[in-house]
């Protein structure tokens, strides 16, 4: 795997790099500040980031991880000494690959690398699975081959971005899709404002009679039968 380390403790960064390299992974760069890491990752293809939660500079690790997911679809594996429930909950909202708790041994790093590799492979397999079937919910059905939403066999008129949203929600029926995943899927590198994002959700909702796009604790959305 191609990895970047964002850690302001030089000894910890070296330990991670040495262990990862020993097990056949490539460390492309190591940074002690988030902004430098973001500038580098913008021009390099990587698999994931070892991300310290508490960093020097104007941006902490959680903020950096959130931006990496939103802009570049790059996940993070958090390295942290924090055990406060509030901090862990905020970090979890970014959907990290895992947490590596300080202090740790080389064996802990090795396990984290194995779990990260498995998680990344599962994500890739899910994205590469063809979706040519039709999924139904209440009076609605979504055809993934033609990207068409129907209600009682009548096509629901939706914009291109509304279709993308509905497609993603139907594909993940029964689960919450994170805000970051929705943003990446619909707008990619042209991230809208928070107000525009909420308006898009609301506008799509207005066209769904009997269904509802609902928020899950502010971290994502799902679609449910609301008849």
Tracing tokens 């580098």 back to the chain, one arrives at 40
* Selection from 195, 159, 164 nearest residue 181 by Cα: 164
The answer to whether domain 134-225 has CATH 1.10.10.10 is yes
HEC profile of 124-136: HHHHHCCCCCEEE
Q: What is the rounded distance in angstroms from the CA atom of residue 186 to the CA atom of residue 163? A: 9
The answer to whether the beta carbons of residues 28 and 3 sit under 8 Å apart is yes
Q: Mean pLDDT by 10-residue block, N- to C-terminus, for the chain (227 residues)?
A: 96 97 96 95 94 92 91 91 82 89 94 91 66 82 88 91 94 91 86 91 95 91 90
Q: Quick one: fold of 2-128?
A: Rossmann fold (3.40.50)
Q: What is the rounded distance in angstroms from the CA atom of residue 222 to the CA atom of residue 126? A: 18
130 token code pair:
């063809």
**pLDDT at 131 (0 to 100):** 46
**pLDDT at 42 (0 to 100):** 92
**pLDDT at 129 (0 to 100):** 52
The answer to whether the beta carbons of residues 76 and 99 sit under 8 Å apart is no
**pLDDT at 127 (0 to 100):** 60
Strand ranges across the sheet with 211-215: 177-178, 220-225, 211-215
Q: Per-domain residue ranges for the chain?
A: 2-128, 134-225
Q: What is the rounded distance in angstroms from the CA atom of residue 189 to the CA atom of residue 133? A: 29
pTM for the predicted model, two decimal places: 0.58
Q: What is the pLDDT of residues 115-157, one digit of tens each?
A: 999 888 877 776 655 445 789 999 999 988 778 999 988 999 9
DSSP 77: E
160: Cβ–Cβ under 8 A, 6 or more apart, which residues? none
């Amino acid at each position: 795997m191609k990895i970047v380390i964002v850690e302001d403790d030089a000894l910890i960064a070296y330990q991670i790099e040495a262990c990862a390299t020993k097990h056949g992974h490539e460390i492309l760069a190591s940074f002690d500040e988030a902004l430098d890491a973001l500038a580098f990752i913008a021009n390099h293809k990587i698999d994931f980031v070892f991300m310290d939660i508490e960093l020097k500079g104007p941006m902490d690790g959680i903020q950096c991880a959130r931006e990496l997911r939103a802009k570049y679809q790059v996940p993070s594996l958090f390295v942290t000494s924090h055990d406060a429930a509030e901090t862990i909950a905020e970090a979890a909202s970014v959907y990290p690959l895992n947490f590596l708790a300080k202090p740790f041994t080389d064996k802990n790093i090795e396990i984290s690398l194995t779990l990260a590799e498995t998680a990344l492979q599962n994500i890739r397999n899910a994205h590469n699975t063809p979706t040519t079937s039709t999924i139904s919910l209440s009076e609605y059905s979504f055809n993934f081959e033609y990207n068409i939403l129907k209600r009682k066999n009548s096509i629901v008129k939706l914009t291109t971005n509304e279709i993308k949203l509905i497609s993603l929600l139907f594909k993940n029926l029964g689960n919450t899709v994170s805000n970051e995943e929705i943003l990446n899927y619909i707008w990619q590198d042209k991230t809208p404002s928070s107000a525009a994002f909420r308006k898009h959700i609301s506008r799509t909702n207005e066209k769904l009679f009997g269904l509802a796009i609902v928020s899950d604790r502010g971290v994502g959305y799902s679609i449910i039968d609301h008849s």
